[in-house]
Structure 1
Amino acid sequence: MTEDDDDPSKKNGCGLNSNSPLYIHASDYPKQIRANDTLTDNKYIDWSQEMINFLFAKDKVGFIDGSIPKHEKTSEDYTTWMRCDAMVKGWLTTVMEKDIIISVKYANTASKIWSGLLERFGKESAPRAYELKKTLTTNHHNGASVSAYYTKVVGI
């Protein structure tokens, strides 16, 4: 037990420590995130980085990387874990193209959604590698400054 476990200012109404990744703030809701980019077939890298930043700020990255595994049904925190995972799934799907949502909506956990997206869109997928190579070979300077052109190439 830590000092924070006894500090009422660190707990929500249910007694859960606000530093716990299982804590959901009263202002959190599934459609809360407003991403710069909706996940489409060709925006995965930017989208995933934005989602990781958002989830890190909410202390919920463990729900997508598997470091906060699903609790057993007999666990005292099972319902709390399920509620948090549902919130993370809501955050993920809110900023996805409709066709992509359809392909992940039956995933049991946020971690399964995340790993499925990584497998489908991640750097190591052959279609993505082909797309990046094609973009690099067709990219032109078009009168842009050297720094602007370099920034564009690095972004690709």
Structure 2
Amino acid sequence: MVAVDLASPYYLHPSDHPGMTICPVVLKGDNFQEWEKSIRNAFRAKRKLSFLDGMVPKPDDDAKEIEDWWSVNSMLVAWVLQSIEPSLRSTITYYETVQELWDDLQQRFSIGNGPRIHQLRSDLTRCVQRGQNVATYYGHLKKIWDELSTYVKARGCNCGHCTCNWMADLSKEREDERLHQFLMGLDDDLYGTLRSNILAQDPLPPLNRAYALVVQEERHKTMTKSRDTRNQGMAFAMRDASSRRHDKPTCVNCGHSGHVASSCFKIIGYPEWWNNGRGNDKGIEKGKGGKSTSAIGRGKGVANAAQNANIPTGSNVIGSTNTAPLTSQDRTALIPALNDDQWNVVLNMFKNITQRNSSNEHLTGPHFEDGDWGR
């Protein structure tokens, strides 16, 4: 059995196939730099980046590894084409080798860095929070920073003899610049105080630490806002209930709430249903036009007064089986100081009350104005 060299550039894993997607970024035409970085990273993980750079040239036709080379090359060509948008893939010239295909894509889609760098820096200055959550806002910034780093290469020492540690200082300077950009884009009304506290630190904290502090502040404000919303809802409900209570009118005659002077019983007279039949303890009240209205016309109170009175035997009172007419002496014994017309009104009222009691209805009776007593 022949041993398989896993480190060989010609090695292909059994799971590798031409239709496999090896990078998450799809080439759409205007994102070549992002796509190139992603495809290079995927090829490096597969140990096949040397095919793109031409470091593994095509062997001679009679070489024994020619078949392995063509197998790997064809697999890489399929992977590159699979990572291109279908509408754009049809416009790409077909090449047999992956190196020729790669060079053609670079010449076609790799535009000058100057315009793109200017566009990215413009996007960076306009990138502010504007009510977004902190994670979304930071994600937009991070995407611009990452693409910008592909165009602007970090400077490094070529001589290898520097001892001033300037590379670390340069890296810290770039991180501080990003920290300022992140803090400047935050909403002033929410994170103004926190931003001042972070900038007051010397040295400035790392960008990741500042991001964690802002997220912590966001969560605290979210909880506080939720609690305030509940409290405001309860306060509004209490104010609404209080306003409904205070909205009731107040009578200028008697001083009670719930009615006005034009409907005050002390002015217009008490109805029969007043005080649930106990209206007879009100005494005599002034009615409309200054006439006196006694407690007789207050529903149950009158009936109770009549039932508790000492009624002579044989009188024609409601509920009595004797139909003999009442004499003047009997009427005087029941309720004094009533003339014949007023007594007839009282008898009619008793009949109505008795009929409604027999049908188990709530005791209500006709309302008598002050002038009715004299008719």
* Match 1:42 to one of 30, 35, 52: 30
Write the deviation string for residues 40-74 of structure 1: whole angstroms up to 9, x where unpaired.
11221221122112111111111111101112212
Q: Is structure 2 residue 145 aligned with structure 1 residue 154?
A: yes
Structure 2 letter corresponding to 1:56: R
Query: By how many angstroms is 1:30 displaced?
Result: 1.4
Query: By how many angstroms is 1:130 displaced?
Result: 2.5
Written as runs of structure 1 = structure 2, the 5 A alignment for 1:1-156 is 10-11=3-4, 17-122=5-110, 125-126=111-112, 129-139=114-124, 140-143=126-129, 148=138, 150-155=141-146, 156=148
Choose 46-55 or 102-111, whichever is displaced more.
102-111
Structure 2 letter corresponding to 1:136: R
Larger Rg: 2
Query: By how many angstroms is 1:138 displaced?
Result: 4.9
Pair 130,33 (structure 1): closer, same or farther in 2 beyond 3 Å? same
In structure 1, runs of 5+ residues without a counterpart are 1-6, 12-16
Q: Distance in 2 between matches of 1:138 and 1:55?
A: 31
Percent of residue pairs identical: 21
Choose 129-138 or 44-53, whichever is displaced more.
129-138
Q: Distance in 2 between matches of 1:103 and 1:66?
A: 24
Q: Distance in 2 between matches of 1:153 and 1:54?
A: 22
Partner of 1:4: none
Aligned residues: 140
- RMSD of the TM alignment (CA)? 2.5
Q: Given that residues 74 and 96 in structure 2 are in contact (C-alpha distance below 8 angstroms), is that contact kept between their aligned partners in structure 1?
A: no
Pair 152,46 (structure 1): closer, same or farther in 2 beyond 3 Å? closer
What's the TM-score, normalizing by structure 2?
Answer: 0.34
Q: Distance in 2 between matches of 1:152 and 1:106?
A: 32
Structure 1 letter corresponding to 2:86: K
Query: By how many angstroms is 1:131 displaced?
Result: 4.0
Higher relative contact order (CA 8 A, sep 6+): 1
Q: Given that residues 28 and 84 in structure 2 are in contact (C-alpha distance below 8 angstroms), is that contact kept between their aligned partners in structure 1?
A: yes
In structure 2, runs of 5+ residues without a counterpart are 149-375
Pair 67,85 (structure 1): closer, same or farther in 2 beyond 3 Å? same
Structure 2 letter corresponding to 1:28: D
